[in-house]
Every structure is written in structure tokens, then in C-alpha cells.
Amino acid sequence: MSRISLSRFLIEAQRTEGNLPPELRLLIETVARACKAISHSVNKGALAGVLGEAGSGNVQGEAQKKLDVIANDILLEANEWGGSLAAMASEEMELPYSIPENYPRGRYLLLFDPLDGSSNIDVNISVGTIFSVLECPPGDVAPSEADFLQSGRRQVAAGYTVYGPQTMLVLTFGHGVHGFTLDREQGSFVLTHPDMRIPASTKEFAINMSNQRHWEAPVQRYIGELLAGTTGPLGKDYNMRWVASMVAEVHRILVRGGVFMYPKDARDPSKPGKLRLMYEGNPMAFIVEQAGGAATNGRMPILDIQPSKLHERVAIFLGSREEVERVTAYHAAD
């Protein structure tokens, strides 16, 4: 059987299912092209002098790596002229980026985490790009932060690219989740993982255990039960993984199940979690739900949260349905 490239997959989705507007198809193709360029930079590493610190900070108060800045610039440049977008927002930029006036303005808003897991870049461990697409509310003025503050349910597409042993793009536009592997010789993404589904049960969990003393009671209870294994109420032994790249953790969960958690942390009560809602939580929650899994902040589905600011943080529990439902029920019982 002939291979299905990303372009063919998207054109067929547009034609046969009628669920992919042409401007959105073009936008996804453009994001994929940008991710290919980011993949090349990530792969070159020290050979291209792209490792290490950029010497600057972002709005989150985090030191930027050179590749955080490079990936952000690649995404901005690739997406500003195509005519699909009204504005973009990024983890690395305090304010939304309006499409320059010399380019046509389209109907979508693109949000991204240009390089996720960037603490891993200098040690040659998987990193990724995460993106989310919303429709821009109608109006002829330049889009502002308020236009982005839509719940995750309103996303029209979301995806990530993982730069690992293989570079893979995983995508949803609300009709299942599909994975594409980059064929470097051909220069194209090829459909290798159609209809990805997350198993409902699992024996694998991911959490940064070093934060244990700062967790709330429901999380203490749940992790205690996982660690108790066959001797505890859950009656089975669990294994643990922590890559410290959310993209890599979510990818593992899509392939073989698992539960990923970044709970609220008592160290800074002003932050309801470490990860960001709009360009980490929402796109991953959309993908996970589309693959049959669940994603909550411990209290409610992430996709139902009404955001109040662009760089808002959120607690995250996502992955295999049984486990996410269990830890969410423990929060309700608290």
C-alpha cells in the first residue's frame, strides 16, 4: 500500500469528511513545516552551536535556552505570511503577536509552546513543540489577549511534535488522533500511527516525586496507593517514569497508556500548577480526550476551564481514563 503523507491525509480529510476547512489545512501544513525546521536545529545540536542558554528570560521568569528562542522565531516566521492567522501567542512572548499589516489576516489564532522540556535539550533527551488552534472572534480590530481566552473545548485543532529518536507529529482536529513520522530523506511526515487510542487502564504513572511534600491530600492519597502496589487497595504494582518533557510523557501515554500528573504545588499559592493552560494543558487535553483518555485539573475537565489570562497555569492529571477518574474522585471526596 502506498504511504500516506501528511499533505495527502489532510487533503483527503478536507475532501471526504468535509471537516477540515482549507485555511485550517494550510495552517496545519505550515506548522508541520516549521516543526521540520525545528527538528533540524534540534538534531544538529552542538554542531550548529544551538545548545545552551540564550542569556534572556521569558514572561514566566524562566531562563530561555537558545533553542527556545530559535523555535519561537521559526514558528512566527513560518506562520505570519500564509493568510490563515489573525494572531499568535507563545510561551516565550508576554503579549500576543499580531499578523503584520502587509500580510492578509485570517480567521484563526495559533498558540504554542515552541520547545517543551527545554531543560532536556543540552543532555540530548526528547523535547517537543505543542500547538493549539482557536477561531478568532469576529471584529476588525487587531486581536488582543481577550480574544485568546476561550475554553479548550473551542479548539479546532491541536497537536505536538516530539523530537526524539524519531521526529513525530501527532494531530487532532476533533476526529481522532493521528501520528506521523518524519521521513528525513523524503522531507515529509508519513502517517504511521492512525487512530491512536489510550488504553483505559494502566500500570504506569509519571509525576515529579521530588515535590511530594508540597502536594495536597488527594494527590498524597492517590500516589500512596500507587506506591503500595499489590499490598495496597489498588491491588497491582505500578511502574514510574519521569522524562521532564510533557510532550514525551504524553506521547508514551498515547502509545501504551499511563497517567501523567503535574499537580498544584503549595510552594506558591498564587500558581494553580506549573504547566500553562492555553498552550500546554488545553492542546494535550484535546488530544488525550480524542484518543479516549481523560484530562482534569483534579476538579473538572481541563477543556471546560474558562481561562482568565494568556499565561495562566493549571494542575494537570491526564491519560488512561480509569486512573484520571480515580484521582479526580479523590479530589471530590476531599
Binding residues for Mn ion, rule: CB under 5 A, are: 91, 113, 115-116
294 burial type by CB count under 10 A (0-12 exposed, 13-18 middle, 19+ buried): buried
Q: How far is the CB of 68 from Mn ion (least distance, A)?
A: 6
Q: How far is the CB of 114 from Mn ion (least distance, A)?
A: 6
Q: How far is the CB of 262 from Mn ion (least distance, A)?
A: 10
Nearest to 177 by CA among 20, 292, 257, 323: 292
Residue 265 in contact with ligand AHG, rule: CB under 6 A: no
By CB under 6 A, name the one of 116, 147, 265, 289 that touches ligand AHG.
Answer: 116
97 phi/psi in degrees, rounded to 5: -105, 115
What DSSP assignment string belongs to 277-326?
IIIIIHHHHHHHHHTT-EEESSSSBGGG---SSTT-EE-EEEESHHHHHH
Residue 212 in contact with ligand AHG, rule: CB under 6 A: no
Annotated binding site for substrate: 116-119, 208, 274
Binding partner of residue 265 among ligand AHG, Mn ion, none, CB under 5 to 8 Å per kind?
none
Stretch that binds ligand AHG, among 10-18, 47-55, 95-103, 240-248 (CB under 6 A): 240-248
3 state DSSP class of 215:
coil
Residue 161 in contact with ligand AHG, rule: CB under 6 A: no
Dist. CA 79–CA 15, nearest whole Å: 24
Residue 93 neighbours by CB distance under 10 Å:
17
If the CB atoms of residues 117 and 272 are measured against ligand AHG, the closer one turns out to be: 117
If the CB atoms of residues 128 and 143 are measured against ligand AHG, the closer one turns out to be: 128
Cell readout for 188 is: 515529509
Residue 125 in contact with ligand AHG, rule: CB under 6 A: no
- 74-103 residues in contact with ligand AHG (CB under 6 A) are 91
Query: Maximum Cα–Cα distance for the chain, whole Å?
Result: 66
Dist. CA 284–CA 112, nearest whole Å: 12
Annotated binding site: 91, 113, 115-119, 208, 274, 280
Instruction: Tell me which residue has its CB nearest to Mn ion.
Output: 116
Binding partner of residue 42 among Mn ion, ligand AHG, none, CB under 5 to 8 Å per kind?
none
